[in-house]
Amino acid sequence: MLLENNKIIELFLARSERAIAAISEKYGKLCFKVAFNILNNHEDTEECVNDAYLGAWNTIPPKKPNPLQAYILKLTRNHALNRYDYNSAKKRASGMTTCLEELEFCLSSNDDPEKALEEKQITEYIDEFIETLSDCNRLLFVRRFWYADTYEQLSVLTGIKVSTLKVRIMRLRDSLRDYLCEKGVAA
């Protein structure tokens, strides 16, 4: 039986190692999917998911994340992106390449000294943009660009043809670019 989130948090607060088993049992599959979609490699994925659990162990307490699911998924995604960076530097390709390339249009320079601030600002703009989307467009956007689902995975999930999804998501991406341009963010 899966523990409720507040019980899992209590285990973390009590420094019980059962917290890791509980969070793994409840969200391990989803964490694995998020990391694997980015890395396309079982070994790296396992490592990232374990790093995310360790991240949770090191930050709870003092944090008491609510919702816990989003917190552990964000930790996993961050670790996976860092590993992706490392792999890319080593010239190791993965399935995330296409997803990243699709969003390259609206990049600012990485060397910007105000990068951290800019990232936070961009996150707020992306939130605003997602809020404007219809239910189906919002789900497609988040599944493609947050969960890094492939078009084939999206097609199985939604019942929509791959070709239609590609066009729809390209339009969503263009809309985001226009939105960020309006806000003066996009390059």
Partner 1 sequence: MDNIIIKAMTDIDDRFILEAADEEHIREVFSNLTEEDGFTDDDFVNAGEGDETESDTAAEEGEAKKEKVKRICRKSAKRLLLVAVISALF
Q: What CA–CA distance (Å, rounded) separates 21 from 175? A: 42
Q: Provide the minimum distance between the beta carbon of 148 and partner 1 in the complex, in angstroms, as a whole number.
A: 9
Binding-site member from 3, 21, 57, 100 for partner 1 (CB under 8 A): 100
- The single-letter DSSP state of residue 150 is -
Which CB, 50 or 78, lies closer to partner 1?
78
| Three-state secondary structure readout of 81-145 | HHHHHHHHHCCCCCCHHHHHHHCHHHCCCCCCCCHHHHHHHHHHHHHHHHHHCCHHHHHHHHHHH
Binding-site member from 10, 46, 47, 118 for partner 1 (CB under 8 A): 118
For residue 43, count CB atoms less than 10 angstroms from its CB and return exposed for 0-12, middle for 13-18, buried for 19 or more: exposed
CA atoms within 13 A on the CB side of 121: 11
78 binds partner 1 (CB under 8 A): yes
74 binds partner 1 (CB under 8 A): yes
155 binds partner 1 (CB under 8 A): yes
83 binds partner 1 (CB under 8 A): no
Binding-site member from 2, 13, 54, 157 for partner 1 (CB under 8 A): 157
Residues in touch with partner 1 (CB under 8 A) = 30, 67, 69-70, 73-74, 77-78, 81, 84-85, 88, 99-100, 103-104, 106-108, 110, 115, 118-120, 122-123, 126-127, 130, 134-139, 142-143, 145-147, 155, 157-161, 164
